[in-house]
Structure 1
Amino acid sequence: MPPALDDALITRNPATAEEVGRAAVTPPEAVAQVVERARAAQARWGETPWSERRALLDRWRRILSRDADAWADQIRAEIGKPAGEAAASDVIPTLDALRWAVVRGGAALADERIGPSWQRWLLTPTGRLRWKPLGVVGMIGTWNYPLFLNAVPIGQALAAGCGVVWKPSELAVATADLLQASLLEAGAPDGLVGLVHGRGDVGRALLESPIDKMVFTGSVETGRRALETAAARGVPAVVELSGFDPAVVLADAPLESTVRSILWSSFVGCGQTCVSVKRALVVGDPEPWVRAFAGAIRGLRVGDPAGPGVDVGPMITERARSGFDRTIREAVAAGAELVVGGRSIEGEGWFYAPTLLRSNSPEPEQALEGAFGPVLLVRGFSDVDSAVSAANASRMALGASVWGRDRRAARAVARRIVAGTVGVNEAVVPTASASAPFGGFKASGFGRTHGVLGLREFVAPQVLFERRAGGFRPQLFPYSDGGMVDRFLRVYRRLFHPRA
């Protein structure tokens, strides 16, 4: 059923408010039909040899690479990132992830022999582990990295032999339509990847449809509601929710280079990045760090990313900006000192001044938790243990970093931090790794994307055992002549399971 024509989603350039995209809303009652089409296509796709799946992914990757500059411009216009940043953080990581699937996906999905080892004595047969496609994946997409965070799980699902029905964010419909068109150009079978546009009611309709796996990227609150819907039907899920990433700055960290790195890690994407650094937890005197961060933040150029030399673009919507401003004010009311920024920038576009807060207690951190915008909070600690405790105090645990000259000492601290990804003298960049699994602990979600573990989220292990017909099978009925079996089991226990 085609989308309704009397309702539309409109996206606007967050720097100028000019219209960028327009998409007709899919009626919620039509979503199940899209899922059924995907299921029919997946029944065939799941039986195709790896070479055919690989060929589709490779064609898709090459099409995206051909249009890389256009993708960067599209993301700049719809999301508000500088085009160079969009290329580096959205386009290239997508191409890398798809290349990983093309080059290494076949090995990750190959059958594996499972030998009986010592259980050969029990006549246990040899097994063969196979990876079976789960079926149809229902995906709720996101807007802040509209290519990377959407195309990669779609590509992994296709590599695994699954079909996909996805609802992109209503804030990135133009990018979503381009992504869908690129898949069709690559030759994706009819119906295998279905796109439905809409708001929350369309997302609920998708999750209530007969899908076999859910993929969700978004806020903690919305993600938990999505999980409840999926759990009610016994549908497994991969969920990547918000972060509140700490950077533990050790006493020997070089000030200038560390400030530059954390500054970028905090304000890339206007701070609208799930793994952006929100807390600088300084071991020792925080004042030199506060002064250095304040000077660096004042030097950032905020503006329309269509212009030259812009470092930080706008927030995605006026609603997002207003909500972020309320969070900043709540953190100040909880005891944070406003050092730099803390205000909306008047004029055209939804700009917010990059903000630096200083805190001497945990209450401002608690108020700031979940903030999705351009802010960094600095707090000092007398020792490493206190800093680590503060880093782990958040209910969120997506990413973290530790900074210091002594990498062995920094590595030891990093191992104490609870987070899905922890960097030593690095933040944000590791999430683009095509090989490393990405995901969080605690309220930041579960399941993984990228690499072998991400690919295997879309398959189920099936073990095939076989042996020749007939043969010696002493375990069978009748049990009346069990003496031989009993004697054998006693010998087996003595050989492989000696008594304490």
Structure 2
Amino acid sequence: MTSANTLDQPFYRETTLARESLAASARESVRDRLRWVRQFREQVAARYPEIIAAIQADLPRLPQELLASDLLPTADACRFLEQSAEKLLKPSRMPDRHRPIWLMGERDTIHRRPHGIVAVIGTWNYPWFLNAVQIVQAIVAGNAVLWKPSELAGTSARLLHEMLVAAGVPANRFQMVPAIRENGAKILDADIDFLVFTGSVGVGRQIATRLAQRLIPSILELSGCDSLFVLDDANVEMAAQATWFGTTINKGQTCIAVRRALVAESVIDRYLESLRSLAADHAPWPLAMASQREQAQRLIDDAVAQGARLLEPVRTAGDRSMSPAVLVDVRPEMAICREATFAPIVAVLRGQDDADLLKQQSQCAYALGASIFTADATRAEAIAQQLPVGMVVVNDALVSAAHPATPFGGRRESGWGTTQGAEGLLAMTVPQAVSHKPGTFRPHYQIGEGESVPALERMLVGMLRSSHGSRLSVRMAGMWQIIRGMMQLGKSMPKAKSDSAAHSGQ
């Protein structure tokens, strides 16, 4: 828990109510919380036209895309929790075989306790899936949530909040603050215990700095500049289609979009021909913000100035619309291979062999995801082992990131922590070990008294030898030392009263 809430802290009323709601949450079972998860999941299926309309009111997207990228993954994530959360959050008794001899008789249990108040600073590009999974996991784990939605997704945020509360989530346990940019900064100074942020690396770095001053832990789901490998034995046509899909899904406004295609020299001509047929005469798409197109144009101009070329001309309209851009003859030191962008743009690099492709891939500081196209599963595994990313997909792109049971998260410039699957649920908790010691025999109390206790030393040496001796004879001798030491200590130690004896003597 953080320090006591004070009137001058932001969102004092909301965090006070949230803190009060935690007492009721502690009395609930996980099964109690899962009842409203099911209610919410079923309402997602029943009210999908209303949800689609709300998301489209914020940002125009096709219904088929919203069903695939937001609604289905949200419902599946809820069902995963219904199937798994109770077992995952159940107290775990430590097996006797793991208990060292010097803790003989002790019973140890690991409990998963909630952080307390979890702040969620939400995103806009997948406004239901990315926000709902984080919120639902936090509350199922026993936390209260303070949510600051994106200012670009206010309509869908209001509906998400309304549906979760209607499903049974107590209103004080899930509170939404106004979706304005200033509240993202304010929430960092509120009485919170944990924070989840999805957004750019620049903002993520500022958040990490602020939270570090208060020692508040966090999950940061940050930007990506993901790579797609096309090896010399790949299905080249499918790899080109996957590149196009991974570059253009949600108009390129995806953190795990394909930004770099690393293609074997022997198949690059076929690959580019397939990609050209997809990119030809494409109409411009509107992006969420003009700054996205401005950055994309800067990266294109920089790459072309250094010798890259566009596979097809880029068409623009207004101040924020552009057609997808494919750049070829790109080198890994160019800015387009080192910056995260939120536009439909991909750079194609060529390499002589797997080692060359891996070397070019490693020159980018982002480490979110990657795809590998090859007919050889063993070869794919060998490459995946060398990629410091949170997710690798073989012979596909992106969609596996929404698997409800797998973790999702990045490394290096792409952030830390996970927000999906078992690992994502457990990240919303802290482990607490509870150890029960029977009886009154406590020889270790004499260790720090400043005087030598030969019997205690003999017993400890016996424990070391009996547990870790290299030969049976050494281990047996150690057991004898333990017995002798315990007998001698039992005679010399003052007798501690048991609880029942102490009370009867009062």
TM-score by length of 2: 0.86
**1:244-283 alignment to 2 at 5 Å?**
244-283=225-264
Cα deviation digits, residues 125-173 of structure 1 (max 9, x gap)? 1201111111001111000000011000000001100000111111111
Q: Within 1, Cα distance between the matches of 2:98 and 2:111?
A: 22
Amino acid at match of 1:475: H
Deviates most, 260-269 or 243-252: 260-269
The answer as to whether partners of 1:180 and 1:195 remain within 8 angstroms in 2 is: yes
In the alignment, which of 462, 471, 474 is matched to residue 443 of structure 2?
474
**1:168-187 alignment to 2 at 5 Å?**
168-187=149-168
1:289 paired residue number: 271
In the alignment, which of 321, 336, 345 is matched to residue 308 of structure 2?
336
1:485 paired residue number: 456
Deviates most, 184-193 or 446-455: 184-193
* Offset of residue 329 of structure 1: 2.2
1:310 paired residue number: none
- Residues 60/292 of structure 1: CA separation in 2 closer, same or farther (3 Å cut): same
* Offset of residue 387 of structure 1: 0.4
**1:407-446 alignment to 2 at 5 Å?**
407-446=377-416
* Offset of residue 361 of structure 1: 2.2
> Are residue 90 (structure 1) and residue 70 (structure 2) matched?
yes
> Are residue 70 (structure 1) and residue 50 (structure 2) matched?
yes
* Offset of residue 102 of structure 1: 1.4
1:358 paired residue number: 328
> Are residue 405 (structure 1) and residue 375 (structure 2) matched?
yes
In the alignment, which of 136, 141, 146 is matched to residue 127 of structure 2?
146
* Offset of residue 372 of structure 1: 1.2
Q: Within 2, Cα distance between the matches of 1:84 and 1:438?
A: 23
- Residues 213/118 of structure 1: CA separation in 2 closer, same or farther (3 Å cut): closer
Q: Within 1, Cα distance between the matches of 2:206 and 2:100?
A: 48
**1:117-266 alignment to 2 at 5 Å?**
117=97, 119=99, 121-124=101-104, 125-266=106-247
The answer as to whether partners of 2:10 and 2:189 remain within 8 angstroms in 1 is: no
Q: Helix, strand or coil: the match of 1:363?
A: coil
Amino acid at match of 2:405: S
The answer as to whether partners of 2:9 and 2:190 remain within 8 angstroms in 1 is: no
The answer as to whether partners of 2:117 and 2:144 remain within 8 angstroms in 1 is: yes
The answer as to whether partners of 2:330 and 2:347 remain within 8 angstroms in 1 is: no
Deviates most, 401-410 or 483-492: 483-492
Using the aligned pairs only, state the percent identity.
Answer: 32
- Residues 176/352 of structure 1: CA separation in 2 closer, same or farther (3 Å cut): same
The answer as to whether partners of 1:93 and 1:148 remain within 8 angstroms in 2 is: yes
Aligned residues: 460
Unaligned stretches of 5+ residues in structure 1: 1-27, 304-312
Cα deviation digits, residues 427-462 of structure 1 (max 9, x gap)? 101110100010001110000011111001111111
- Residues 468/274 of structure 1: CA separation in 2 closer, same or farther (3 Å cut): same
Higher helix share: 2
* Offset of residue 339 of structure 1: 1.8
Q: Within 2, Cα distance between the matches of 1:100 and 1:299?
A: 42
More contact order relative to length (CA 8 Å, sep ≥ 6) = 1
Deviates most, 162-171 or 324-333: 324-333
TM-score by length of 1: 0.87
Q: Helix, strand or coil: the match of 1:438?
A: coil
The answer as to whether partners of 1:138 and 1:214 remain within 8 angstroms in 2 is: yes
* Offset of residue 423 of structure 1: 1.0
2:296 paired residue number: 324
- Residues 29/461 of structure 1: CA separation in 2 closer, same or farther (3 Å cut): closer
The answer as to whether partners of 1:246 and 1:279 remain within 8 angstroms in 2 is: yes
* Offset of residue 120 of structure 1: 5.0
The answer as to whether partners of 1:69 and 1:87 remain within 8 angstroms in 2 is: no
- Residues 486/30 of structure 1: CA separation in 2 closer, same or farther (3 Å cut): closer
The answer as to whether partners of 1:248 and 1:391 remain within 8 angstroms in 2 is: no
* Offset of residue 365 of structure 1: 4.8
Q: Within 1, Cα distance between the matches of 2:114 and 2:315?
A: 49
Q: Helix, strand or coil: the match of 1:278?
A: strand
The answer as to whether partners of 1:90 and 1:146 remain within 8 angstroms in 2 is: yes
Q: Within 1, Cα distance between the matches of 2:434 and 2:32?
A: 24
In the alignment, which of 325, 328, 350 is matched to residue 380 of structure 1?
350
Q: Helix, strand or coil: the match of 2:445?
A: coil
Q: Helix, strand or coil: the match of 1:138?
A: strand
Q: Within 2, Cα distance between the matches of 1:411 and 1:480?
A: 59
* Offset of residue 219 of structure 1: 0.4
Q: Within 2, Cα distance between the matches of 1:120 and 1:283?
A: 54
Amino acid at match of 2:90: A
Q: Helix, strand or coil: the match of 2:145?
A: strand
* Offset of residue 479 of structure 1: 7.1
Unaligned stretches of 5+ residues in structure 2: 1-7, 472-506
> Are residue 459 (structure 1) and residue 440 (structure 2) matched?
no
